[in-house]
Amino acid sequence: MVVSLHRENSLVKFFRWVYAGVDRTIFMGLKFTFPARFVSPLGFLGMLTFVIFIILGITGALLMLWYEPILDRAWDSVQNINDTIPYGFHIRNIHYHASNAMVMVAILHMYYQYFSGRYKIRNEILWVTGVILGVLTILEAFTGYDIIFSERAELAISIAASLTNSIPILGPQMRDAFFGSGFHDFVLRFYAFHVFFLPIALLGLMVVHFPRFLVFDVPMVMAVTGAIMLTGGVFPVDMGLKFDPSVPPGITVPEWYLTGLYAFLRTQFDKFVTGVAWPGLFIFALLVIPFVDKYKKFSWKDRPLITAVGITSLAQIIVTTYWGFYINPDRTKSLLERLVIDPIFFYLVMLLLVPLSFGFTYMMIKLAKNAEANAKLQPKKAGGKTAINLPKKWIYILFVVLLAFQVYLNISAYYAVLNGMKNYSLFIIGIIMLVFAGMFHIYRHGSAMAKAPPPKQTTFPSPAKPVPIPSPKPAPSIPKPTNEPLPAPPIQKSSGTQVATQTSQKTTTTTTTPASTSVLSNSKTDNTQNVVAEKSATELPKK
């Protein structure tokens, strides 16, 4: 493989040609990073959201081949997909669970950016477009489960349209313009919104929202995909009852990302205030956060007020989401009695959550700062990271075992489909994805080990005499002191020390990997500057 890549065959030439062409397009600003080792997914949750969006796009496009957005045929066509079309069950379940995953990952992404204060590094445009993207994502998911036109979908459409209607002055006109009149139009238009208007808006906003440096972590992407399929296998989504206007609907609860709003609606307070004004206020508050946050520092510990507001919002979201799900199980009571939430009790709880969350936040900050101070007093641990170092032989053995497992899983998935056990086969395919994630991780671990520079020396040799880094194989390594002065080093505010005169010494080993060429400084004053120099060396222009 390596050989063919180095030999510049026509395929490689073609790829290079394409790459050179792409360099002239808007994508030239984008830089993809494929991490060579495990990195925390918290940093690239946005990328994961996008990947799930792509999964939704593919499965959704396939579903479009069979779905019919017509009043009396919508539900039947979904049933057709689910029950008779081969792999329709799989596609539909992946689509459904991926929609939930996308909303969930988007929310996690937002809160991670919020608490880590990362909107300060990027800029406000990214945050604002992100919030709009989040709202559109929820609308996208909402319109999706409505066009099945089950009983629950009908009620959800009703609530959406009557909420639009409740907007003062322009409400009825807006409802007429966006939804048309009656359920025939509603289904058709929700479909149009779901497959075209909203995705196009999402894509357009993504162009603005994408930062230039993107992380594409294959194992994590495959793990998320696998988790979606696995969930689809364990909890396959049901069809619901076909909507029939002559049959009064039973109690239905919306999807989990809207039960919070549903709890507000169930207080039977004014429709516009509870269903439009409160969520609008919440979204507005999110939008203005980076403009309100005037703290100079990033960490949640250094921004107590903002953190407390975030914790309050989380607490309220969790409580209302649960409350929206909860319906008094006492069947002797009337439907209305079981559904209605006492507004005074409800709003009192909402208010009570504010001081509780603030107290919790300030307590946590205090504890965290104490822990930090204690950690500083303690002597530093040597080493720090403990990586699992598998010998090469065991990596190969593990690979073979996993490959055999993949073969076994493939066969079982196929037989599961043959025997009509659709959800079981989806479950197994989910496992296959997870195994692939594991395999890829092992592959990258192994190849990183092959390329890796020799284990780092924890104690530097005496600064006067630079020692070449020993290579793993006893190869003829000749240190070449070049002694050329470095260009002005990037300013390091953190260290404070001036890195004025440095000379680099390239230590080339016979292995051709770039990682093995490292630059050391022979500064005679301070060993800590080595770290700085090493950091800056990666940013130097090549000579």
Partner 1 sequence: MYETKVYKIFFEQFVYMTQQAPPNSGGKVSRRDFLKLMAAAGTIMTFAPFVDWGKFLPNPAANVSERAKVQLPDGSQANVKTFQVNHSEAIIYPRSEEDETLNKESFRTWQFIRLPEELGGKKNDASAFRVYSMVCLHLWCLWKYWPEDGRKRGECPCHGSMYDPLTGMAFAGPASLQSPPSNVLPVLDLEVDNDGNIWIKPPNWSVNGNGIVGFGRFIT
Cα-to-chain-centroid distance, residue 445: 23
For the bound state, the minimum distance from the C-beta of residue 354 to partner 1, rounded and expressed in Å, comes to: 28
Closest CA to 88 of 71, 104, 64, 106: 64
Residues 47-86 that bind partner 1 (CB under 8 A): 70-72
Helix (H) or strand (E) holding 519: strand 518-521
Residue range at the interface with partner 1 (CB under 8 A); choices 31-39, 42-50, 132-140, 267-275: 267-275
Among positions 166, 361, 511, 521, the unique one binding partner 1 when judged by CB under 8 A = 166
Nearest approach, Cβ of residue 161 and partner 1 (Å): 7
Among 90, 92, 175, 444, binds partner 1 (CB under 8 A): 175
Smaller CB separation from partner 1, 104 or 167: 167
Which residue has tokens 């919440």? Answer: 282
Cβ contact 411:428 at 8 Å? no
Which tokens is 214 given? Answer: 């993107």
* Residues that contact partner 1, how many (by CB under 8 A): 34
Helix (H) or strand (E) holding 349: helix 343-377
Binding flag, residue 183, partner 1 (CB under 8 A): yes
Does the protein bind partner 1 through residue 332 (CB under 8 A)?
no
List, in order, residues 6 or more apart from 461 with CB less than 8 Å away: 467
Beta strands in 220-345 (DSSP E): none
Would you count residue 35 as binding partner 1 (CB under 8 A)?
Answer: no
With beta carbons less than 8 A apart as the criterion, state whether 56 and 129 touch.
no
Q: What are phi and psi of 485, to 5 degrees?
A: -70, 145
Q: Is 172 in the site for partner 1 (CB under 8 A)?
A: yes
Query: Any contact of residue 455 with partner 1 (CB under 8 A)?
Result: no
β 213-215/31-33 pair status? parallel
CB of 266 to partner 1, least distance (A): 10
Q: Is 248 in the site for partner 1 (CB under 8 A)?
A: yes
The span from the first CA to the last CA of the chain, in angstroms, equals 29
Q: How far is CA 232 from CA 128, 308, 429, 449, in A?
A: 33, 36, 10, 36
Which of 33, 162, 497, 501 touches partner 1 (CB under 8 A)? 162
Nearer to partner 1, 245 or 384 (CB): 245
Give the Cα separation of 145 and 444 in Å (integer): 39
Determine which residue in the list 68, 185, 293, 302 makes contact with partner 1, applying CB under 8 A.
185
**105 or 156, CB closer to partner 1?**
156
Q: Is 165 in the site for partner 1 (CB under 8 A)?
A: yes
Whose structure tokens read 């509603």? 186
Among 180, 211, 446, 468, the residue binding partner 1 under the rule CB under 8 A is 180
Q: Is 286 exposed, middle or buried (0-12, 13-18, 19+ CB in 10 A)?
A: buried
Q: How far is the CB of 238 from partner 1 (least distance, A)?
A: 21
Q: Is residue 442 near partner 1 by the rule CB under 8 A?
A: no
The one among 181, 419, 497, 501 contacting partner 1 by CB under 8 A: 181
Q: Are 482 and 521 in contact (CB under 8 A)?
A: no
Q: What stretches of 299-421 show up as alpha helix (H) in DSSP?
A: 304-325, 335-339, 343-377, 392-418
Q: Judged by CB under 8 A, which of 22, 36, 177, 475 binds partner 1?
A: 177
Q: Tell me the per-residue interface mask from 333 to 352 with partner 1, x by CB under 8 A, - otherwise.
A: -xxx--x-------------
Q: Which of 413, 462, 459 is nearest to 433 (CA)?
A: 413
Q: Does 152 interact with partner 1 (rule: CB under 8 A)? A: no
State how far the alpha carbon of 198 is from the alpha carbons of 45, 54, 210, 258, 277, in Å. 21, 14, 18, 18, 22
Using rule CB under 8 A, residue 270 touches partner 1: yes
- The stretch near partner 1 (CB under 8 A) out of 33-41, 90-98, 162-170, 453-461 is 162-170
Contact by Cβ (8 Å): 189, 178: yes
The neighbour count for residue 108, using CB atoms within 10 Å, is 16
268 binds partner 1 (CB under 8 A): yes
The reply to whether 40 sits near partner 1 by the rule CB under 8 A is no
Q: Look up residue 59 and give its two tokens.
A: 């499965």
Is residue 161 at the binding interface for partner 1, with CB under 8 A as the rule? yes
Tokens of 524: 């005679």
Sole window of 59-67, 179-187, 193-201, 281-289 interacting with partner 1 (rule: CB under 8 A): 179-187
With contacts defined by CB under 8 A, name the span among 1-9, 164-172, 373-381, 417-425 that binds partner 1. Answer: 164-172
Site string for partner 1, 389-418 (x = CB under 8 A): ------------------------------
Q: 71 or 402, CB closer to partner 1?
A: 71
One-letter amino acid identity for 187? V
Residue 19's H or E segment, with its range, is helix 10-22
Q: Which of 16, 184, 392, 473 touches partner 1 (CB under 8 A)? A: 184
249 interacts with partner 1 by CB under 8 A: yes
User: Residue ranges of the alpha helices (H) in 118-258?
Assistant: 124-146, 151-165, 171-179, 183-192, 198-209, 218-234
Which range binds partner 1 by CB under 8 A, 142-150, 243-251, 391-399, 514-522?
Answer: 243-251
**Residue numbers at the binding site for partner 1 (CB under 8 A):** 70-72, 155, 158-159, 161-162, 165-166, 171-173, 175-178, 180-185, 245-246, 248-249, 268, 270-271, 334-336, 339
